[in-house]
Amino acid sequence: MPAHGLDLSRIAAPMVNQSDLPFRILVRRYNTSLVYTQMLLPDRLLNDQDYLEFHTRGLREDYDSPVVVQLCGNDPDVVVRAAKTVVDRADAVDLNLGCPQDAAREGHYGGYLLGQKDWPLVESIVSALSHSLPIPVSAKIRLCQNVSATPALGVRLEAAGASWIALHARHVSARRRRQGAADLSQVKTLKERVNVPVVSNGNVRTWEDVIANHAETGADGIMVGETLLANPCLFANATPDPVKISLEYLDICREHPDTATIETIQAHVRHFVDHQCGRRPWYNKFRAALTRCGTVDEIERLLRVRVQRWRGLAPLAEDETEDDEAEAAEDDDGARKPRPACERAVQSRDHGRPAG
């Protein structure tokens, strides 16, 4: 269900150091309807110009819209002032009430504001945002420690001005943040208790899971995080070739320089390749080689030449076949192996759309 004109049906979740601009552009190409930035820190947006410029570079341009900027914090005034630094470059602002990391516990924000003693504070932040900004405000939550209290919190968030609520139906735990399956019955219960749209986050590994999640919860949209890192084409019901999707991502990085660190770029490429080739005998060698790459060009050469050879395939570009003898010898162990199962063509981007 659209909220203020936004399509909430297929959402890329906010992920620390992984919701970079090139990745947001990539998943949009494959049927993702809405993307979030990573959780941004209000103090740094207000006091660190480099941080502000890096995380807002490209926001809400034609290639990065619609986009939700996610903030954290426990001071209504500070969060509102931070939101105002990005409001003209965002389609909505989200309050993170689910971060399970140690830093969130120490700073008393994210998922550590779910206790009932902090509900008045949470309500004041959402209310301050909704009354101060000309764009929608939402909240992303986890299960309260007392699970039965979660719908009551949702009701209060709605009353405070939240335009929609996303529920990652697991408890907050810095040590075991994804232990066990998400309790999707709680998403359904929340949906029955509030009048604003509800987004379900959790238990999605395949396109079939997207359909099943929607059917079980009745949610207005499905949010996916780590599975999209592995398969950015999930919402298009497609399985991409790992090298080709990596090269597509690298091309976007070149088109939008200084919007992702080399560490972030390496992490995305590692996820893409690991998804289908993580159990191949050459995978650890690939990871070591990827870590040694210091530029996008070096990563591209690794993919086009060495990874292709490890997969038993020809290099993808004729002008990149002049490896030195050491590299060629290192590649020999995988050069004549049968074509692995991870080599699959990208299916149609328009094949299949989630219900609702």
Q: Which residues are annotated as a binding site for FMN?
A: 14-16, 70, 140, 168
Using the structure block, give the residue that is written with the tokens 């290099």: 315
C-alpha distances out from residue 134 to 58, 86, 104, 300, Å: 20, 12, 28, 42
Q: Residues 72, 99, 233, 253: which is the catalytic one?
A: 99
Helices 242-255 & 262-277 angle (0-180, nearest 10): 160
C-alpha distances out from residue 14 to 93, 157, 339, Å: 12, 20, 35
For residue 99, indicate whether it is catalytic. yes
DSSP three-state, residue 69: strand
Show the tokens assigned to 261: 């660190």
DSSP three-state, residue 4: coil
The rounded Cα 203 to chain-centroid distance in angstroms is 15
CA distance 123 to 130: 10
CA distance 346 to 342: 11
34-37-38 Cα angle (round to 5): 135
Catalytic positions: 99
